[in-house]
Structure 1
Amino acid sequence: MAGPWNRYVAMGDSFTAGIGDPEPRSPGGMRGWADRIAEELSEGRRDFAYANLAISGLVLRQILDQQLGPAIELKPDLVTLSAGGNDLVFHRSDPDRLAATLDAAVGMLSATGATIVLFTGPDWGDTPLFGHIRGKVAVFNENIRTIAARHNGVIADLWTLRQLSDPQMWDPDRLHFSPMGHHTIAAMVLETLNVPHSLRPLQPKPLPSGGWRESKAGDVAWLTNYLLPWMVSRVRPRGDGAPLAAKRPQPGPVAGSESAVPHP
């Protein structure tokens, strides 16, 4: 049996929604590390259910306001929670204040008896534009470790996952992970939970010449085509009025979900 859990709920933002790992057959057209974990946990388990409440672009307070109550109501025995990345990267938020907000929410989740998995942020020290927040991420990570220890949580440590330093682990937008990155993260989480799994390290392709760390022209193209439009979308209301929706708002079988709401 792949772990003792019967009901898994994932909470978070675009990282947990699976952005960067396209799969037309998955709800919202994205797969991601959480789906990959659920696939492994559900192997041979007809009673296993999985919900993913993640919505792209949310900051920590929005994640807690919109997802904490529904997550508790779903009565999970396994919860993954990743939040705060958008706050640190795009809003220059104070990592200690973020942690204080997160601590109370993790306490509420832990009180349900569920296993709670928290994520540290990755080490962006070598990336072109995010290296300047490395110190804040490190402080936030130490706070997350303290919160996990206080509430008997489990740490999924992206900071020490050295494989993520390979550019092939990242989507071309450099904000999200590629399918290889999501696969690698899923394997790390399962191993952290001591769950046997069938995920095997991918054979990485040779790094192409002129990788993004060395290409100034590529940096300009990335800034113009990815980062600036993404930042504008965070502050400009959607013109079509379509609400942002959770990826899989109701727990159900991993292979397909009639109740899943498309992710915009």
Structure 2
Amino acid sequence: MKNPADRPHRYLALGDSFTEGVGDWDASRPNGVRGWADRVGEQLIATGEWSYANLAVRGKKAGQVLAEQLPEALRLKPTLVTCYAGGNDFLRPSVDLDAVVSAYVAGLARLVDAGCEVAVFTAFDSGASKTFTATRSRAALYNELLREGADREGFAVVDFWRMKEFQDWRYWDEDRLHLASLGHARMAENVLAALGKAEEVEVPDLGEAPRLRRLEAIEADLVWARKHFVPWVGRRVRGVSSGDGMKPKYPEFVADLTESA
């Protein structure tokens, strides 16, 4: 069988939990998640010309993505890379976004210099979220700095900020931080379209959202805080990450995700 890395087109996904696929839970997959990048990889593989690898690991900050994943990316010699990093940086109490984005853009520019097409993601607009609205100004600054860098270095931009359909919280996992399976499916569709590689991705119609009564909403907030927010804060206090000890899902190029699971 032909080595997947010898296929003419090689797609590599880099980043943190967003790209790893957290929220799209699937016990049959490495790390227990599927995600939008796997879905994009599957569609590309189906053309017969693409292979796919994914080095993303949950909890990684932008500097860790560059230090741990970029050298491997250069070794693998992809033809297309998507990367999202930085969200775990601006969730911290203090962050120098100018320095973070400058290093991020410079690192990914090495892939362009190696002949690779690179696509980056803007951050999501959290203005409608009661939970993460405080990060909105940081996300907006991150996006502006990233757009400047993308224009300069020739990166494609997948504009998550302008995907207003994700203001419907049914696209999100119960932790309110990661996309759910339906959200990952929708994101896969959007990514393929943004890359000019549109393929059909099955995304069910959500229909009209039910309205929660005030007491139901309060109860949901309390459950979320106990189950997700408190443990998240605890990890930050202890200086640990949900991705500690985890390995990338697909560290080498594959042409069949079912055989690699």
Q: Residue 246 of structure 1 corresponds to which residue in structure 2?
A: 248
Give the equivalent residue in structure 1 for 2:34.
Answer: 31
Q: CA deviation at 1:235?
A: 4.8
| 1:197 correspondence with 2:202 | no
Task: Tell me whether 219-228 or 34-43 shows the greater mean CA deviation.
Answer: 219-228
What's the secondary structure of 1:180's corresponding residue?
Answer: helix
Letter in 2 for 1:103: V
Question: In structure 1, what is the Cα distance between the partners aligned to 2:80 and 2:255?
Answer: 15
Count of matched residue positions in the alignment of Structure 1 and Structure 2: 252
2:22 corresponds in structure 1 to: 19
Report what 2:54 is aligned to. 52
Q: Does the 8 Å CA contact 1:27/1:256 hold for their aligned counterparts?
A: no
| Corresponding residue of 1:123 | 125
Task: Report the counterpart of residue 209 of structure 1 in structure 2.
Answer: 211
- Per-residue deviation, 1:162: 0.7
When residues 53 and 108 of structure 1 are mapped into structure 2, their CA distance, relative to the original with a 3 A threshold, is same
Once the two structures are TM-superposed, the CA of residue 27 in structure 1 deviates from its matched residue by 1.9
Give the CA RMSD over aligned residues: 2.2
C-alpha change, 1:90 and 1:5, in structure 2 (3 Å) is farther
| Counterpart amino acid of residue 125 in structure 1 | G
Please tell me whether the aligned partners of residues 25 and 33 of structure 2 are also in contact (alpha carbons under 8 angstroms).
yes
User: What displacement does 1:201 show?
Assistant: 4.2
Distance, in Å, in 2 between the alignment partners of 1:211 and 1:125 is 22
Q: 1:115 to 1:131 in 2, by over 3 A?
A: same
The partner residue of 2:80 within 78, 81, 106 is: 78
TM-score, scaled relative to structure 2: 0.89
Answer whether contact 1:35 1:254 (CA < 8 A) is retained: no
Q: Deviations over 1:71-105 (max 9, x none)?
A: 11000000011000011113431222211111211
Q: Structure 2: how far apart are the matches of 1:218 and 1:100?
A: 39
Report what 1:185 is aligned to: 187
Q: What SS class does the counterpart of residue 58 from structure 1 fall into? A: coil
Higher helix share: 2
Distance 1:253 1:29 in 2: 19
Q: Which residue of 2 aligns with 1:233?
A: 235
> Structure 2, unaligned stretches of length 5 or more?
1-6
The gaps in structure 1 that reach 5 residues or longer are: none
Query: How far apart are 1:227 and its partner, in Å?
Result: 1.5
Render the CA deviation track for 1:205-233: whole Å, top value 9, x for unaligned.
44233189x82232222112101212323
Secondary structure in structure 2 of the residue aligned to 1:251: strand
Q: Distance in 1 between matches of 2:164 and 2:65?
A: 28
Contact 1:24 1:30 in 2 (8 A): yes
Correspondent of 1:41 among 32, 41, 44: 44
Match for 2:140: what amino acid?
A: A
| In 1: Cα distance, 2:17 partner to 2:220 partner | 24
Deviations 1:50-85 (A, max 9, x none): 111011111111111100000110000000110000
% identity of equivalent residues: 35
Moved more, 195-204 or 64-73: 195-204
SS at match of 1:54: coil
**Aligned match of 2:100:** 98
Contact 1:27 1:257 in 2 (8 A): no
1:179-210 residue CA offsets vs partner (Å, 9 max, x unmatched)? 11111111111111111301144210442331
